[in-house]
């Protein structure tokens, strides 16, 4: 389906019917995904938040702070419909699901693998899924309680790197949510203690030890291997000086790779979501995401997939250089 507000309105009306909805989010779900699902759970009848791939560290803290109830083993749950939130492709969901009765709401690069869904609303102009869910609640005239507002604001905050990558629409929605309950900025900023724990810091150090890098002109592409906190290690490699970083982990015959790029190279034409989407198509895996933050997961050898990511990045950067954009 095309991106129209009527699709989002139709999804909202389906949720209003009741009868049971299983709201699903991607594996190792972040705060934006959890906040989006929580807002729907509090605003519509009979919604269960399913997290079959678990929550990341900060999302777990958010769930504890706001008392968000989630279910990790959803295999035995029966629901009239599925609502899939903040999930760029089917491969990011752990488990087997009937997508013919699924309604997908996302803000990553559009993915034709969702063509089997009953309805698909994807607005990649939004910095967070929380913004779209806020729009959905307003369409149906649903009350936004204080805890829902806090969750949505925190989702926006974390998905934009604490506004470092925010777009004007994000700030407008955030301001509107603040005004609803007279919320102060420090309430949102201090909602959870998001400081890195020792295991995350150790993962970053190990990632630095294992890194390899390639240089094209003034650009640097770095890769590393790890077993946890791939996204965090990626960001630490950018802090060390990389323009694009990929960090992968292997679990049996499955792999997971996170990618990050600086806003400087994004402004020059790098779009990691599209790049990893192409790698996914090339390797029959699932990849996608934002211009500066993306991921890919599936079956295969992580080292081989990392090499493909690097090769595609180097070709893209060489193309940027050849166009005269240095």
What domains does the chain contain, in order, with CATH numbers? 5-189 (3.90.1640.10), 199-322 (3.10.310.40)
Percent of the chain with pLDDT over 90: 78
pLDDT tens per residue, range 27-60: 889 999 999 999 999 999 999 999 999 999 899 9
What backbone phi and psi angles, to 5 degrees, belong to 48?
-110, 130
Query: In the β-sheet with 81-85, what is the strand arrangement from edge to edge?
Result: 47-50, 21-25, 81-85, 102-106, 119-122
Confidence of residue 325 (pLDDT cuts 50, 70, 90): low
Mean of the per-residue pLDDT values of the chain: 92
pLDDT tens per residue, range 227-255: 888 989 999 999 999 999 999 999 999 99
Please, which residues bridge with residue 119 across strands? 103
Burial zone of 227 (CB within 10 Å; 0-12 exposed, 13-18 middle, 19+ buried): exposed
What's the average model confidence in pLDDT over 12-18?
89
pLDDT tens per residue, range 156-174: 999 998 998 899 999 999 9
DSSP 87: -
């Amino acid at each position: 389906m095309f991106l129209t507000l009527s699709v989002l309105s139709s999804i909202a009306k389906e949720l209003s019917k009741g009868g049971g909805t299983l709201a699903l989010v991607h594996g190792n779900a972040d705060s934006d995904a959890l906040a989006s699902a929580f807002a729907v759970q509090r605003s519509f009848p009979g919604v269960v938040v399913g997290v079959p791939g678990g929550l990341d560290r900060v999302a777990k803290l958010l769930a504890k702070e706001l008392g968000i109830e989630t279910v990790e083993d959803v295999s035995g749950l029966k629901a009239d419909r599925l609502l899939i939130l903040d999930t760029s492709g089917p491969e990011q969901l752990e488990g087997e699901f009937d997508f013919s009765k699924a309604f997908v709401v996302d803000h990553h690069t559009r993915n034709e693998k969702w063509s089997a869904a009953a309805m698909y609303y994807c607005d990649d102009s939004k910095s967070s899924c929380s913004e779209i869910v806020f729009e959905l609640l307003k369409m149906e005239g649903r009350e936004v309680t204080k805890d829902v507002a806090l969750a949505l604001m925190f989702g926006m905050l974390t998905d934009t790197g604490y506004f470092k990558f925010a777009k004007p629409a994000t700030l407008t929605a955030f301001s509107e949510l603040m005004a609803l309950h007279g919320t102060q900025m420090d309430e949102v900023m201090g909602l959870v203690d998001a400081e890195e724990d020792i295991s995350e810091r150790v993962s970053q150090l190990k990632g630095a030890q294992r890194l390899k890098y390639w240089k094209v002109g003034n650009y640097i592409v770095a890769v590393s291997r790890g077993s946890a906190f791939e996204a965090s290690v990626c960001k630490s490699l950018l802090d060390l000086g990389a323009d694009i970083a990929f960090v992968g982990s292997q679990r049996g015959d499955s792999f997971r790779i996170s990618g990050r790029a600086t806003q400087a190279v994004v402004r020059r034409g790098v779009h990691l979501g599209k790049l990893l989407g192409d790698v996914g198509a090339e390797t029959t895996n699932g990849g996608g995401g934002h211009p500066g933050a993306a991921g890919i997961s599936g079956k295969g050898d992580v080292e081989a997939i990392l090499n493909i990511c690097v090769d595609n990045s180097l070709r893209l950067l060489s193309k940027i250089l050849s166009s005269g954009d240095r």
